[in-house]
Structures are given as structure tokens and as C-alpha cells.
Structure 1
Amino acid sequence: MRELYTQNARADIGSSIEVNKVLRNTYMLLALTLAFSAVTAGIAMAINMSHGMGLIMSVIAIVLVWFVLPKTANSSAGLGVVFAFTGLIGASLGPIVNHYLAMSNGGSIVLQALGGTAVIFLGLSGYTLTTRKDFSFLRGFVAVGLMVMIACMLLLIGASLFGFDVSALSLAFSAGIVLLMSALILFQTSAIIHGGETNYIMATTSLYLSIINLFTSLLHLLGASNE
């Protein structure tokens, strides 16, 4: 019995060490990718990159994260893919941020969006890490929510191309994204601390996307309320 208890204790210690390693690597890589995105966004803003070029970069980034990253996530090449992906996303944000900065109180809007994103992310992550609560029950909600998000985004793009006024629906969509990304942060952080996610590259990518989507959605909501 004592031998069995010792083995279980060692297994628990080993599992805790592995979880802490994944957490440490995830947040370290997340900080680096966010900083890199800030640099590429700053460059895009400085050269006044067009929205069309930003859209092209977003499409390339989506291709990388959907088709290339899953094949390289377990190797060092995955790090290069993550930085390429986050750099492209950061650059694509440049025209968006410039658009809001051009408003009369644009600087305040951008700062509020950044502050709101930080508060939501740190608050939800801190809550999950402190309470150690298991949010695996959100898996279905997150999976369905992501599919609905993509479908709604395509619908809104199509409707706007045909000249329909989708401003109200667009605001509702942004509010829904804030809710969905908040759930994704809870789910992903919980998956790391409970051993459901052991690949820090994939965990970083998930949290990074949550942060970026939170920021752009809050920008949209705050920008609309200040018009």
C-alpha cells in the first residue's frame, strides 16, 4: 500500500511539473508573440498599409494556422510558423488601428480597447489558475461558437457586399465574439492546468487568437458607441 501511495505521489508530482512547464512556456511564448505583433502592427501603421493588404495578410495567416501549424506544432519549426502567423496578424491590425486613431477621440478608443482586453484576459486567466476550476464543459460551446462565428462573418461580408446595412448585426456579432473569446480563454487555460493541453505552441496560438479577437471586437464596440 505504501509503495502504491509513493508511486501515485510521484506521478502527481511529475504531472504537476509538466503542467507548470507547459504554463510557463505558453505564457512566455504568448508574451513574445504579442510583442512581435505590436512591432509589425507599428510598422504597418507607419507605412499606412491599406486595408486590402491587411486582408491579404490575414488570409495568409489563416492558411498558416489551419494547414501548416498542425503539422509542425510538435517540432521547432512550429515556433517559426507561430511567429510568422502572429507577425502577419499584427501587421493586418495596423490599418484597423489607424482607422480608429483617425477618429476625434481615437486614441482613447484604442487605449480603452487595450485596457479592456488586458482586464478580461488577466481576470479570466487569473481566476482559472487560482481556483483550478475545470472548464472542460465549455468544449461544446466553444466548438459550436467558433463554427457559428465563421458562418456569421461570411454572412456579414456577403450582405455588406450586396449593399445591405449590417451595422446593428455587426455590433451584435462583436458582442458575441467577446463572450465566445472569454469562454475560450477559460477553456484553454483550464485545459493546460488539468493536463488536457500539453502542446504549448497550440495553447499559445489559441490564447493569442482570443486576445486579438477580444481587442478587435472591443475596438468595434467602443468605436460605434463613440461615433
Structure 2
Amino acid sequence: MERKPVTLASAVAQPGTGIEINKVLRNTYMLLGMTLLFSAVTATVAMAMNIGHMTSLVLTLVGFGLLFVVNKTAESSKGIVAIFAFTGVMGAALGPLLNFYLALSNGSSLVMQALGGTAIVFFSLSAYVLTTRKDFSFMGGFLMVGLVVALVASIAMMFFSIPGGQLALSAGIVVLMSGLILFDTSRIIHGGETNYIRATVSLYLNIYNLFTALLHLLGVADD
């Protein structure tokens, strides 16, 4: 029987096939590395242009819109273009936040600590899942509830001043994103996610939110 090849554009794997799962995993990490690098470039450009917070908000909203485009086109080569557009916009949206922290006396140190902490958490948790092959699908319900609570809390703090609220929210997001890294990596290696573009988006958002939450925590601790 002739076997249908799996291309980089489609990456539609057959669940339960070790070779195909490894291919999805490899393509996911390769694309994740490229999109993170592209985000760093667009963030640097946004910082150099000194874009304002309102522009950052608009870019974030555009990013949410592009997220739907990525999911819709993930089965075709158009998904590659969409995911780079999405991650590029999200990287640029970080410009004002990074400029704010870098303007502090030890801002460079805070940003580097946040980057280092994000890398340590991501690689440690990913390595744990890849080594133990443990299935973390049981965390799905808990993580979904956590995301809803975090979203509601974020909206509430836009209108109400809650002492220590931002600190608690940032700490909660760090825990939540750590759980999502375990969950999303587990889904890939157990065949729950067979499209490397969607898998990349999930891990990218985990890293993105983990980094910003760690940066807020470090900033509060330093203050």
C-alpha cells in the first residue's frame, strides 16, 4: 500500500504512530524557535520606534484576530504565513512593556531574569514530559477553569483597585502557564494534537504569557 507523505505544510499525523508523532514534535519545536526569534525582532523594532501603549493594545487586538486566522489555515501552507504574522504582531505589542522595564535602573537585569526564568521553566517541564511520557490530559478541565478565572480577574482589575491583586494574578498565570506547558506537550507526544502549527501556537502563547507574568513578578519584587 502506498503511504501518503507528511509534508511540512500539512503535518497531519496519524494518531498513535510514533514516527509521525516525533515528526510533529520536531516540526513544532523548529517552528516555535523561528516564531520566538521573529517576535524578538519585531519587539526590538517596536522598542526602537517607541510605540505607545494604545498602539500596543491595538496590536494585541489584531493578534487575537490573527489567532483565528491561524487556526482556520493551519491545515495549509497559508498557516505558516498566518502564524508569523500573529507572532510578529504579538512581539511588537511587547515594545512599550519592555521599554518601561528597561528604563529602570536595573531594567536590563529584570528582563534577562524573566527571559532566563521562562527558558528554565519551559525546558524543564518539556523535558520532564518527554522523558517520562506522562499523560497530563487530566489537567484539561482544571486549566480551562483557571484560564476563565484569570481572564475575569484581569478584566476586574481594569476597573477596581485591589491591593496585591496584580501580584496574585501574575503568580497565578505563572502556575497556569506551567500547567499548560505540561498539558500541551503531553497532547503532542500522545497524539492529541497532530497539527504542528496549532501545537506551535499553543506553546508560543504559554511562553509569551509566562514571560510577561514573570517580568511583572520580578518588577514587583524589585520595587
State the 1:177 CA deviation. 0.2
Equivalence for 2:153: 152
**Structure 1 unpaired stretches of 5+:** 1-11
Amino acid at match of 1:96: L
Higher percent of residues as helix:
1
State the 1:47 CA deviation. 1.1
Matched, 1:193 2:195: no
Coordinate RMSD, CA, aligned:
1.5
- Classify the secondary structure of the residue corresponding to 1:79: helix
Equivalence for 2:135: 134
Deviations 1:62-93 (A, max 9, x none): 1221x322211111111111111100110011
CA 53–167 in structure 1, closer or farther in 2 if over 3 Å, else same: farther
Partners of 2:89 and 2:18 lie apart in 1 by 35
Partners of 1:226 and 1:139 lie apart in 2 by 34
Equivalence for 2:50: 48
Equivalence for 1:218: 214
Equivalence for 1:113: 114
Amino acid at match of 2:69: V
Partners of 1:147 and 1:81 lie apart in 2 by 26
State the 1:49 CA deviation. 1.1
Q: Which has the larger radius of gyration?
A: 1
Equivalence for 2:11: none
Equivalence for 1:208: 204
Q: What is the TM-score of this pair, normalised by structure 1? A: 0.89
- Classify the secondary structure of the residue corresponding to 1:198: coil
Aligned length: 210
Alignment of 1:63-142 (within 5 A): 63-65=65-67, 67-142=68-143
Q: What is the TM-score of this pair, normalised by structure 2? A: 0.91
State the 1:167 CA deviation. 5.0
Partners of 1:197 and 1:125 lie apart in 2 by 15
In terms of mean alpha carbon deviation, does 148-157 or 112-121 score higher? Answer: 148-157
Equivalence for 1:34: 36
- Classify the secondary structure of the residue corresponding to 1:116: helix
